[in-house]
Amino acid sequence: MTNIALTISIMLGTGLIARGWNLAGLDNFALWFIALGIIWLIAQYNHWGWFSAAALLAVILAACAGLWLGLHAGWLIAGSIFSLIAWDLTDFRHKKLTLPKHDLRGIEQRHIARLSFLALAGLIFATLLLLLRRQFTSDWGILLGVMAVNSFTQFIFGLRVK
């Protein structure tokens, strides 16, 4: 489950940043972020744990630069949130190797549920910002809705495993 969540987070993290830059017509930069995402996935496959920290730093700096340039704030903040989750899951996946097998499912479920809520909280803040800037779009609404459903599903599963 962690591996699936990690892969999705990396794809969303770099993909949303690329989308933010792509919307401003900066396609070359968008391609660079997609390339970063692919390398990040390869790094995870090869268990290069250090790469996540470097990738998170790169994504945060790219989002910061994008916001300074006035690009779409929602995608950039969402990209940063999912990169943060990917960075956390990389560490969690490494830690999982040392954990006792019989406790693993519950721990994994609770950890992912916590991260889902964190992502939802971050997205709510980003939504407030978008509403203030009047940049709220339907695709942003879909992303927020999907994350809300996911968070509550994880919460319910977390309770069941407990």
The site for other proteins (CB under 8 A) is made up of 53, 56-57, 60-61, 63-64, 67-68, 73, 76-77, 80-81, 84, 88, 91-92, 95, 98-103, 107, 111, 114, 118, 121-122, 125-126, 129
State the Cα–Cα distance between residues 131 and 143, nearest whole angstrom: 15
Of 30 and 73, nearer to other proteins (C-beta) is 73
Count of positions (residues) in the chain: 162
Sequence-distant (≥ 6) Cβ neighbours of residue 17 within 8 angstroms: 33, 59, 62, 63, 66, 75, 76, 79, 80, 83
Of 47 and 95, nearer to other proteins (C-beta) is 95
State the Cα–Cα distance between residues 86 and 129, nearest whole angstrom: 23
Of 22 and 127, nearer to other proteins (C-beta) is 127
- In whole angstroms, the minimum distance from the beta carbon of 68 to other proteins comes to 5
- In whole angstroms, the minimum distance from the beta carbon of 57 to other proteins comes to 7
What angle (nearest 5°) sits at the alpha carbon of residue 160, between those of residues 123 and 13? 25
Of 30 and 112, nearer to other proteins (C-beta) is 112
